[in-house]
Structure 1
């Protein structure tokens, strides 16, 4: 229901009425009475409630939109705009890999509607109680639907629902490896796997890569030399390099793992972003692959739900027990929201809207940074950087100019890896802010570090 209590703040004491409406709206947002995503009453309803002309309210709403207080479109209504993170922190964040705001959808409104529906049809006491580790049958069935593109039909018995990809990754590695064991990874990889390896005392062995990912011959050699307990990779929109393995390469990697009898942890965080997903590695070696697919990079990181397709029923049960010992269970309300979204088709709508926004942001990035690497549907790009811009100097310079950047050293698993930036395109709430930030990156890289002597 549209929020109306804020109208009592309208003070007719002096000046134009449209400005009084604008000030009341601004004060209600500043005081927290109106939250981001809340729907405002239609303009005609406000005019009737206040006894003013419709054009007066139209003028007030237009002024609020110009100030960034509200957003909306014909037919969708008017909503309180979310305050951009860059406005709150003073930095434009290009370092955190977030999905962009879904184009044409109000995520806050969707969350409110689904949460309300879940609470209306569920006993709150049951919802807030402890739930079985690994998820209920309904949640696992929804996970099987989420995993199906790229892998085909997956039995819900093999699906484990987890409170985010990091928790799943930690539990899987704790099951497969012991202190001192080797895990093969890409030279630049997800920082989360580095953190887990450090916690568990695992050795990360970097495998040479090309534009598609692991070199199969090098992978086979390293498997023979190091007897690894697992192979970890990100085959689609690799983090951070944005490389994607073709189908042929995925088949080769699966064949190498099968010959060496080494399980693969396939981190498919970005696998749902392409409009036509490639077959997962799990499709070629389901008995060896732990496929991990989070909703964080495709829908929203705040939902904290990820699904694992385990190699078999026994493996799924072991993972559920491992999660019981660490994170116990996903937050029930978040799991219920994602389950409802998948079952009702809302997840596909949000995914399509995220993808549409990502495509526009990728085009923007290519225009401003032509050397950037990444798929047209990815939420991040990779940019090689010149040798005269060391990572720490680059980050400090960017921060002094209002930009938060992450450089290659955050992802490196071995010395001497390529220098570069992973630039996340989803953090800024507006494309105009992103464009300005990308121009700032281009300006920095076209210059010289302060204090560097050029001869």
Structure 2
């Protein structure tokens, strides 16, 4: 058998007791050593039985034992696959810190990816996919981006759309286009950590703007624009990361009016803009001439696509941004860009989005039931939970780690002095809803316990 995922069979030692246990041990070692990666498909059981010269039932028993240990997963008609996060599951670690879209119920992302990749390769010269491509995307890719953004932006000309290998690259390109070292950037007090890292790298001064439950306060925004003359205002108006609030329509109108009057462009991070079933108009829809709109597919579909779309204020701004993108990343991955484009054009992206949205709603309902004080939009992939005054976040994280939970607290998002103590709880990282429920109950129990002398609770 020449399949790469069958090479682990060479590890099977027939002298180590029952043959099914020898197969199980070899499979476990191959996964632990990284020879087999999460998501890779194992060879069919009959093929394994034929290669090893054993009964089919012996291999079936070994695969069943691997499944019981959480090493593999599969279903009739699909095959058997190495399970993601097997190592964390065995260690008891539940990651509530990584913000991911939840796995959709009854929809195989792996199968979609495999089928679309095969179709792309069937209709495209592989040599063309492996060559250099236009840094800002082809016309077809830009048109697909415009179609994806239409529910929040309305109709946008493709010459204003650019494709980027992820939102982080897009934001870096925009900031280097708009600002220079020492310039000011207005942000929300708690904001996306990637922007904190970019500001530190580029030498930008972050000016936190006071907020309420709808985002930045208009009067404070107007005052800070006059005082600091920032080069840009960076905002996350929909399902804000980390505090999960959404800016209302009237507040959005006030914000774009103030920014335009101050002649300060807005950089709108709309990572979760497509998640709500009835999305509000993006800031870029209200004032397209003064807003740079960034919409990654990472929260709505999958971070593995490494694809984001940018709507620039006009075609000239798009050309300038294309030069910055080319300097930073040269181009987006042609294969993943082709997959994203195919999914959007053929309707698969909307189908996947609907499935992810449904799962997100179910998980939000779980969070509301178990953690009633948590704040989160009904279609969001995370919630925010304020901590009681004086609660030590470092002690809380340590206590959580001892209970097998990975948490992220306010200081990871702080653009200045921390005025709001809390934690962001991501709901999409766990494959199974029941595992998430157990983790949320553990968080509730941890918060209900009183800290003693400021020490971690064990």
> TM above 0.5, one fold?
yes
Match of residue 255 from structure 1: 257
Q: What is aligned with 2:181?
A: 179
The C-alpha deviation readout for 1:337-372, integer Å capped at 9, x for no partner, is 111111121211221221122111111111211110
The answer to whether the 8 Å contact 1:86/1:428 transfers is no
Please report how far the alpha carbon of residue 269 of structure 1 lies from its aligned counterpart in structure 2 after TM superposition.
Answer: 0.3
Change (3 A) 1:28 1:189: closer
Gaps of 5+ in 1: none
Task: Please state whether the residue corresponding to 1:148 is helix, strand or coil.
Answer: helix
Aligned equivalent of 1:390: 392
Compare 351-360 and 108-117 and name the one that shifted more.
108-117
SS at match of 1:383: strand
Tell me the equivalent position of 1:291.
293
Q: Residues 249 and 84 of structure 1: is their aligned pair in 2 closer, same or farther, counting only changes over 3 Å?
A: farther
- Match of 2:425, SS state, is strand
Quote the Cα distance in structure 1 between the aligned partners of 2:362 and 2:94: 18
- Is the CA contact (8 Å cut-off) linking 1:145 and 1:342 kept in structure 2? yes
Secondary structure of the equivalent of 1:150?
helix
SS in structure 2 at match of 1:183: strand
Cα deviations by residue, 1:389-425 (Å, 9 ceiling, x for unpaired): 2222222222222211111011111214110001111
Root-mean-square deviation (Å): 3.3
Q: 1:29 to 1:200 in 2, by over 3 A?
A: closer
CA separation of 1:129 and 1:89: change in aligned 2, threshold 3 A: farther
Q: Match of 1:320? A: 322
How many residue pairs get matched?
A: 452
Instruction: Pick closer, same or farther for the CA change 1:399–1:30 going to 2, 3 Å.
Output: closer
In structure 2, how many angstroms separate the alpha carbons of the residues matched to 1:333 and 1:324? 18
Specify the alignment match of 2:364 in structure 1. 362
Does the alignment pair 1:101 with 2:110? no
Q: What is the deviation of 1:116? A: 2.2
Give, in whole Å, the separation in 1 of the partners of 2:406 and 2:246.
26
1:347 corresponding residue in structure 2: 349
Rounded Cα–Cα distance in structure 2 between residues aligned with 1:56 and 1:433? 31
Q: Distance in 1 between matches of 2:130 and 2:339?
A: 13
> Take 2:51 and 2:414, find their aligned partners in 1: how far apart are those partners?
61
The 1:209–1:85 alpha-carbon spacing in structure 2 relative to 1, beyond 3 Å, is farther
Compute the TM-score of the two structures, normalised by the length of structure 1.
Answer: 0.87
| Match of residue 232 from structure 1 | 234
Verify the 8 A CA contact 1:380 1:423 in the aligned structure 2.
yes
TM-score by length of 2: 0.87
Distance 1:96 1:31, change over 3 A: closer
Distance 1:30 1:179 in 2: 45
1:245-292 deviation per Cα after TM superposition (whole angstroms, max 9, x unaligned): 111211111111122121110100000111111111111100001000
8 Å contact kept, 2:70–2:89: no
What's 2:379 paired with? Answer: 377
1:215 partnered with 2:239 = no
**Distance change in 2, residues 1:113/1:30 (3 Å):** farther
The 8 Å contact of residues 187 and 414 in structure 1, kept in 2 or not, is answered as: yes
Do the aligned partners of residues 214 and 59 (structure 1) sit closer, same or farther apart at CA in structure 2, a change above 3 Å counting? same
Cα deviation, residue 109, structure 1: 2.1
CA spacing shift, 1:85–1:365, aligned 2, 3 Å = farther
Aligned counterparts of 2:117 and 2:296: Cα–Cα separation in 1 = 20
Shift of 1:35: 5.9
Find the counterpart in structure 2 of residue 201 from structure 1: 203
1: CA distance between counterparts of 2:220 and 2:143? 38
